[in-house]
């Protein structure tokens, strides 16, 4: 490509590229653009995080989870929240649903939904957002209104992989000041083979 008056397309392309490079800037206050913030949140809760029994189920096969928790109350396939296989445990202190998008071979728990009464890293589903902040610190986002008219507050933990923190935990509630109704935990480092 020759940059001259005879080739206006080349000159225009060069101006566009230069303009994009000059105007590029990092997203402000976004957890992905601030790895230090992710490290600080994770390190504040590291000892609890590493020993939390629920977090330890991420990356385990459904068979390994069954060895610890016994036979699930329900097991199957669902398209709700995206296609996935799941095992569901109903307990006195709430439900725990382990999910995997993997369609064949070992089914590995890549995400978990916890119901009211269940606990994750010291924060119990059913607490207010303000109470969860007491355990986990300032969130990466929220509480903010989602598309389904629920409020969400989320945290990112662990090392970054492909510009994505290793773990994501989100709590939801009907209102900013009402008790949380569930927690969604996702192992972002999960990769298909």
Per-residue model confidence as pLDDT tens digits over 93-140: 889 999 998 666 678 899 999 999 999 988 999 999 999 999 899 999
Considering only residues 77 and 48, tell me which one the structure prediction assigns the higher pLDDT.
77
Summarize pLDDT for 148-161 with one digit per residue, the tens.
999 999 998 877 76
Task: Show Cβ contacts of residue 112 under 8 Å, excluding neighbours closer than 6 positions.
Answer: 54, 57, 58, 96, 97, 98, 99, 184, 185
Q: Of 66, 67, 87, 91, which is closest to residue 77 (Cα–Cα)?
A: 87
Whole-structure pTM value: 0.72
CB atoms within 10 A of CB 87: 22
The full set of domain ranges for the chain reads: 34-187
Summarize pLDDT for 167-181 with one digit per residue, the tens.
899 999 999 999 999
Q: How long, in residues, is the chain? A: 193
**Across residues 57-78, what is the average pLDDT?**
93
The tokens describing 87, both together, are 């095992």
pLDDT for residue 158: 75
Q: Are 100 and 110 in contact (CB under 8 A)?
A: yes
pLDDT for residue 18: 38
């Amino acid at each position: 490509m020759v940059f001259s008056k005879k080739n206006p397309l080349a000159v225009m392309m060069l101006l566009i590229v230069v303009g994009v490079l000059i105007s590029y800037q990092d997203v402000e206050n976004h957890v992905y653009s601030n790895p230090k913030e992710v490290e600080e949140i994770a390190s504040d809760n590291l000892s609890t995080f590493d020993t939390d029994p629920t977090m330890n189920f991420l990356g385990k096969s459904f068979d390994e989870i069954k060895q610890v928790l016994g036979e699930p109350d329900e097991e199957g396939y669902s398209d709700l929240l995206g296609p996935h296989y799941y095992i569901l445990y109903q307990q006195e202190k709430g439900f725990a649903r382990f999910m995997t998008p993997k369609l064949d071979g070992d089914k590995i728990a890549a995400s978990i939904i916890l119901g009211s009464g269940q606990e994750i890293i010291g924060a119990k589903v059913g607490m207010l957002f303000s109470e969860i902040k007491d355990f986990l610190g300032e969130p990466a986002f929220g509480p903010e209104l989602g598309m389904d008219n629920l409020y969400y507050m989320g945290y990112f933990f662990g090392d970054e992989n492909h510009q994505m923190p290793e773990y994501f935990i989100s709590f939801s509630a009907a209102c900013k000041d009402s008790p949380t109704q569930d927690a969604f935990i996702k192992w972002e480092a999960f990769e298909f083979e």
